[in-house]
Chain A
Amino acid sequence: QQQVKQSPQSLIVQKGGIPIINCAYENTAFDYFPWYQQFPGKGPALLIAIRPDVSEKKEGRFTISFNKSAKQFSLHIMDSQPGDSATYFCAASRDDKIIFGKGTRLHILP
């Protein structure tokens, strides 16, 4: 019940395409769903996050879609650029617990 399943493990997209990364959780007690972005040789950094009372959140070219009934959420990157190439982690959290997905290595081809 504490798992966050993330897919795909890796993704290659042409510049300008829309990569989509999916996550599923099991525990309905989670109430906050952040995404972290990690560049090679760096620590992860908070990118965008959503609460389950909204179905979508946009920040620039990054959008989270949230389906509470299906216990799934996804990250979309509009007009993707080579600089978006990184590893992306979804997570699910509540007051005292955070669980990360295993990450998706995204490569945007120039």
Chain B
Amino acid sequence: DAGVIQSPRHEVTEMGQEVTLRCKPISGHDYLFWYRQTMMRGLELLIYFNNNVPIDDSGMPEDRFSAKMPNASFSTLKIQPSEPRDSAVYFCASGTSGGGVSRQYFGPGTRLTVT
């Protein structure tokens, strides 16, 4: 299996631009998670989906962030407009119903820099 695939791996953008991060979960997994990692705040869960339905979005920092999962094999995290404080590594992870939220398989991450 290819594992969780994220694109792009690196993104540099200017403040105010729209940023879209993409994730392809492991085939057959029905949980999908989005995280943000910074030195200051550690690993923060932003939102997760179960069977393409958002279950918990309490970690989404503000309305500038939105996430969608149109089908079982694709999800996006969008930031519009982006700000320098959004600079971080964003991880996508997936999991099975057997493991629930506890056993997650992380992708390699997208390093976002907003200048």
Contact = CB atoms under 8 A, between A and B. Distances in A.
Interface of A: 32, 34, 41-46, 49, 89, 91, 93, 95-103
**Most central of B43, B56, B91, B107 by chain A CB within 10 Å:** B43
Interface of B: 4, 41-43, 45, 55-56, 91, 93, 100-109
Contacts, number: 53
Contacts of A102: 41-43
Chain A, interface SS category: strand
B91 A43 contact: yes
B13 to A, nearest CB: 21
A45 B42 contact: no
B103 A46 contact: yes
**Most central of A43, A44, A97 by chain B CB within 10 Å:** A43
B102 A34 contact: yes
Given A42-B109, A100-B45, 13 more contacts: A32-B102, A34-B102, A43-B109, A44-B104, A46-B105, A89-B42, A93-B101, A93-B102, A95-B101, A96-B56, A98-B102, A99-B45, A100-B43
Given A100-B45, A103-B42, A43 B93 contact: yes
Nearest to A95: B100
B45 A96 contact: no
Contacts of B101: 93, 95-98
B24 to A, nearest CB: 14
B40 to A, nearest CB: 9
Nearest to B4: A43
Contact of A43 (B41, B55, B102, B106): B106
10 contacts: A34-B103, A43-B4, A43-B106, A49-B102, A89-B43, A91-B102, A96-B100, A100-B42, A102-B41, A102-B43
